[in-house]
A and B are shown apart, each in its own frame.
Chain A
């Protein structure tokens, strides 16, 4: 069986090629998740649509009140982008902690969103910022809220002949944010829990705190008590950790499918026990935040 490989360089070519995709076709947008699947024989594509020559999809530009991030922007690129670092710090932090350096150089933000892995680090950040996702389809480009892009069952609303072209994030001068995650090891790790928080800094006070927690359910879960992390007290941190532990416990008890790798009771209970660690990490970060942009490299993996 022969496999076709398409590599459009322009919008015109891309639109044309998009119409040729069948149920078995795949879109190559970095390949860090896709290629292992193909190698292991889980997918046998009849056609690859590679986006690697679509230079326009790699751009990160300001468009009025929005920051437009091309779907083919790589994690490394995003983590180093001055706009993203300034206005969407959590996203920059998340991008700087995805997988290994090689994965970050190759893997793209669009690819991560389309793949929609529950353990993905990007989706919770897009939820946090109330971002929009631009989708190219038969009738041109449409834009959807991130929260409606990811369906309740964890799938995306991308159709067979559609792809993500960009991510739009609203620019707000005063909004600050951070992202922390807990993996099974320090680096080159997949999140077991991730937490992203954003807030407004007004008169040395933290207001309008929002938060999302990732990797504990098929969709990012809203952290309704994120405001506790602005209070800067041991008690409020403990309360936030307890609330999240309860939340994770609830999700676990409602789950019908058992986790394949978590055999012992200690392993099953790990996330709800360890969530305290990232709550404190996030709170520490929020406390230190004002020094972030001039802060020394390596702190917070940025």
Chain B
């Protein structure tokens, strides 16, 4: 095994110091002289047409600079999900629309000299509505008589997928299951914020946003304002977590519009209520899975059908739904597959991007189904999976590309052993025989995720490196650190190649003015794709330095070795030249700077493997579920920063617990009101609820990734919820698949049932 200097070493996130000392300046911390503050007014009807907006009193309030509403803003549509300038998107959203489509939707904005004044002015605005019948549920919205929310009806079909023929697939056993997943909020600690400053003297707009795609934001805003892209600069600001909520362009068009109109520096910071209601939520989804299985447990066919509630605007939902299907065959070998899906617009808050983009949904539907199949066929869930998993480099049939060096089998076998699966299984059975208040169960699930965009789109990853006079290094890369330490991962990659200390490397995050083009940091591609680009860029610049060193030392570059910032002759180690001397020779004698711009296109998309094993205790009197122990086994290739990987795994377990047991944003079925708008009422798994979780990294290197690395950011959450669901069902002998399994849901299931 290769000896690395910093790769694989446990070093903390490079922002940690700034964060714990409160010195990192998030967008909401930014201040400037004369900065204006924006606040939004929320609509009070679930569906209606605005007859009139009366802003007179608000405008009369001292300190108010402007009031915006459907009365005075352009009738131009844009799309929050757009990334590429040429992307075909639904384009249904306006800054303010006369047609109000959900309760709490923004109907006006006030810009004032303080946020307090802006908030007060919002209250002084009166809006008259003509109310329309609202369709809150998917069933209501899909009904023939439902009023269309947009010109093209409420139901949007997603292209279906067929492989083989499920209908004629053989297999002695037929199973059918239905799962429901509720809406969730992302729970990013930082609420959404955006600052936009327009400089009239240069006709230039600068936007600061803790986003996942500066180029996506720029294409949307520049086109909306009709400004040349070159004059709109988007800077990625520090981000207090995303989990998908920073993936779309939400606050930027409105903030930028106000900044441009007022020729000012304008800031908009969401409250927690706005963060929940006015960003997007995780889709609520109903899915049906059918399967045909042979006697020996091999899968002959799978059919999956799902319906997603898009909320009031379509945005990314069609792509999100189709991604569920695209991820259907990344884990198991299935000769016959059918997938169909539809999304429905309803008069409820918008649903959209969420961590794992469909992987969680796909895994919940599929793994719940397999675990039910195992219960009904009396098969062990690990054994069942061992019979059906893909081998390394096998072709996944949806995209017809190899899955790469992925080790499902090792995850299952090691996980079974380390978790003591068989022993725990026996112990649970034994304890349950006592028929007391508490019941115990075990469950597991298996999942995968992507490492790049390939072949969904061309994965463009660029890095620019410049050696400075003292041998230190500046790198520009279109990276968006979500707060999880990807900047540190890039620095480690550069440090490993350049053999210089991390403190000598400055890595600039995405900034449309200084970075080469990048779609953005999602699909868990950052380390795999951008990391590879940084690695190649550093290798190249080191080669350029070697050539210069050879010229300076008057020898062939083939004679030179490199170690710790110095080139030297292997035969005569006293003949040496350091990086600062190389750059000095390059500039002073050769008249050239040493820099390199590198673009890579990932031509592979290696899968990662994740197996989660868990044991639960269910209180049959109160319905409360406690995670007694859990183990996450991950094949993520080489771990660049293992302790941050373990932290990520913990975050996945925490979020997966919420998904399975408690997190749900409830919408009132009649009024369409979002009933949970704060963390007091939003139930999440707290630190004290987390078990002393165990992690196991299987570090089989992936040749196409930097130092063998693949991805980790999203897959960590994917198998957690279905494993917990399986464990609860194992404990109670139930088949519960409507999430979350709250105490009320569990007691309802136990009502009248003797467990």
Residues in A lying within 8 Å of B, measured CB to CB: 41, 182, 184-188, 190, 260-261, 263-267, 269-270, 273-274, 276-278, 280
Contacts and interface: CB of A to CB of B under 8 A. Distances in A.
Given A41-B119, A186-B626, A263-B669, A274 B743 contact: yes
Contacts of A278: 622
A186 B666 contact: no
Contacts of B87: none
A188 B622 contact: no
A182 B689 contact: no
A264 B742 CA distance: 12
B748 A187 contact: no
- Which secondary structure characterizes the binding site on chain B? loop
B675 A276 contact: no
Interface stretch (B300-308, B363-371, B680-688): B680-688
B619 A277 contact: yes
Given A186-B689, A261-B675, A270-B743, A277 B681 contact: no
A280 B686 CA distance: 25
B225 to A, nearest CB: 33
Contacts of B666: 261, 263
B626 A277 contact: no
Given A185-B683, A186-B689, A260-B675, A273 B668 contact: no
Interface string B184-199: 0000000000000000
A273 B747 contact: yes
B668 A182 contact: no
A184 B686 contact: no
Interface in B666-707: 666, 668-669, 675-676, 680-681, 683, 685-686, 688-689
Contact of A266 (B621, B622, B681, B744): B744
Q: Which of A264, A266, A267 has the most CB of B within 10 A?
A: A266
B437 interface: yes
Contacts of A264: 744, 748
A269 B626 CA distance: 22
A186 B621 contact: no
Contacts of B681: 261
Nearest to B626: A186
A47 B747 CA distance: 47
Nearest to B272: A40
Given A184-B662, A187-B686, A261-B681, A267 B744 contact: yes
A270 B744 contact: yes
B118 to A, nearest CB: 13
A283 B751 CA distance: 23
A185 B662 contact: yes
B745 A266 contact: yes
A266 B662 contact: no
B662 A280 contact: no
The 7 closest A-B pairs by CB, nearest first: A277-B622, A266-B748, A277-B621, A270-B744, A266-B744, A187-B688, A274-B622
A250 B145 CA distance: 41
Nearest to A188: B686
Contact of B683 (A184, A265, A267): A184
A175 B685 CA distance: 37
Contacts of A270: 623, 743-744, 747
A205 to B, nearest CB: 26
A184 B119 CA distance: 33
Contacts of A41: 119
A273 B619 CA distance: 12
Interface of B: 119, 437, 619, 621-624, 626, 662, 666, 668-669, 675-676, 680-681, 683, 685-686, 688-689, 742-745, 747-748, 751
B747 A274 contact: yes
A202 B748 CA distance: 41
Contacts of A280: 437, 621
Contacts of A182: 622
B653 to A, nearest CB: 16
Contacts of A260: 675
A278 B619 CA distance: 11
A193 to B, nearest CB: 9
A274 B623 contact: yes
Contacts of B623: 270, 273-274
A270 B751 CA distance: 11
Given A188-B688, A261-B681, A276 B744 contact: no
Nearest to A262: B744
B682 to A, nearest CB: 10
A254 B39 CA distance: 42
A224 B675 CA distance: 36
Q: Quick one: which of B621, B668, B669, B680 has the most chain A CB within 10 A?
A: B621
14 contacts: A184-B683, A185-B683, A185-B686, A186-B624, A186-B686, A186-B688, A186-B689, A190-B680, A264-B748, A269-B748, A273-B623, A273-B747, A274-B747, A276-B622
A273 B626 CA distance: 19
A278 B666 CA distance: 27
Contacts of B675: 260-261, 263
Contacts of B119: 41
Nearest to A241: B621
B595 to A, nearest CB: 50
Nearest to A182: B622
A186 B686 CA distance: 9
B272 to A, nearest CB: 10
A185 B669 CA distance: 25
A274 B626 contact: no
Given A185-B689, A188-B688, A274 B621 contact: yes
A263 B668 CA distance: 8
A266 B683 CA distance: 17
A190 B681 CA distance: 10
Contacts of A273: 623, 747, 751
A269 B749 CA distance: 12
Contact of B747 (A188, A190, A266): A266
Given A185-B685, A267-B744, 10 more contacts: A185-B624, A263-B669, A264-B744, A266-B745, A269-B748, A273-B623, A274-B621, A274-B747, A276-B621, A276-B622
A269 B748 CA distance: 9
A263 B669 CA distance: 8
Nearest to A284: B437
A185 B437 CA distance: 18
A8 to B, nearest CB: 28
A266 B668 CA distance: 15
A184 B688 CA distance: 13
A36 to B, nearest CB: 8
B737 to A, nearest CB: 15
B465 to A, nearest CB: 46
Contacts of A185: 624, 662, 683, 685-686, 689
A282 to B, nearest CB: 12
Nearest to A263: B666
Contacts of B742: 267
A278 B624 CA distance: 12
A186 to B, nearest CB: 6
Most buried by B among A263, A270, A276: A270
B680 to A, nearest CB: 8
B658 to A, nearest CB: 11
Nearest to B686: A188
B37 to A, nearest CB: 16
Contacts of B662: 184-185
A122 to B, nearest CB: 19
Contacts of B437: 277, 280
A266 B681 CA distance: 17
A19 to B, nearest CB: 30
A299 B742 CA distance: 25
Nearest to A266: B748
Contacts of A187: 686, 688-689
Contacts of A266: 744-745, 747-748
